[in-house]
Chains A and B, each alone.
Chain A
Amino acid sequence: GQSLEQPSEVTAVEGAIVQINCTYQTSGFYGLSWYQQHDGGAPTFLSYNALDGLEETGRFSSFLSRSDSYGYLLLQELQMKDSASYFCAVQNAGNNRKLIWGLGTSLAVNP
């Protein structure tokens, strides 16, 4: 089967750094994406890794290790507005590049 595992909930304080891990088991792999979704909102794309290593975009970074089938999203200098759900999603090889989604991590940032 195909599955992605990520923690269901994470809590942190403003200004802190948080890492959300994602391990995946899929039959094909193009890359790992991260999406953010605020309550009542739509998912928005954060980052994508196809190759091993770290991709940095402002306060957010994403890492991938293909050999370990593992990735993480790193959020630095946390702000209250970062409170949201974060989904990792694997881009499936073939099959029109369908996304296989993790169950999501609910991040609560406290003052």
Chain B
Amino acid sequence: DTEVTQTPKHLVMGMTNKKSLKCEQHMGHRAMYWYKQKAKKPPELMFVYSYEKLSINESVPSRFSPECPNSSLLNLHLHALQPEDSALYLCASSHPGTVNNEQFFGPGTRLTVL
């Protein structure tokens, strides 16, 4: 299994809602990432988990809360988001031991905040 899956594919939420994005991989990768991507822009790193521990938080607002319950799963909890948070949210994973740190991306969740 060489894929990263993400659910849901699309999400529309109001500014007062709480929702979660889910990501799963079964490649045995021990590094997992959350990215945010706006149209025509590169992916913007949000969080990195390495061996289930949060290793990078790119000064992301606290309305985004990541969680890594185990080595295969990564969640992103959303609360009180703003319309400018509307974007494609990408999950990725990689094997920390590889030279090229190839990152495998999931298809993303298209989030719209109303």
Q: Do A and B come from one complex?
A: yes
From A48, A95, A97, residue with most partner B Cβ within 10 Å: A97
Q: How many A-B residue pairs have CB under 8 A?
A: 57
A72 within 8 A of B: no
> CA of A45 to CA of B94 in the docked complex: distance in angstroms?
11
* Chain B interface, >50% SS class: loop
Q: Does B112 contact A (CB under 8 A)?
A: no
A12-20, A21-29, A74-82, A101-109: which lies at the interface: A101-109
Contact B100 A42 (CB under 8 A): no
Residues of chain B within 8 A (CB-CB) of A91 are 100-101
Interface pair B56/A98, CB less than 8 Å apart:
yes
The total of chain B residues at the interface (CB under 8 A) is: 23
Are A96 and B56 closer than 8 Å at their CB atoms? yes
Among A45, A102, A106, max chain B CB count under 10 A is at A45
Q: How far is the CA of A43 from the CA of B92 in the complex (A)?
A: 10
Q: How distant is the Cα of A99 from the Cα of B46 in the complex, in angstroms?
A: 12
Given the interface contacts A31-B100, A96-B50, A97-B101, does A43 sit within 8 Å of B43 by beta carbon? yes
Given contacts A41-B107, A42-B107, A50-B99, contact A96 B41 (CB under 8 A): no
- Docked-complex contact A48 and B102, CB < 8 angstroms: yes
Q: What residues make up the interface of A, taking CB atoms closer than 8 Å to B?
A: 30-31, 33, 41-45, 48, 50, 85, 87, 89, 91, 95-99, 101-104, 106
Q: What are 11 A-B pairs at a CB distance below 8 A?
A: A30-B101, A31-B100, A42-B90, A42-B106, A42-B108, A43-B105, A45-B102, A50-B99, A96-B48, A99-B45, A104-B41
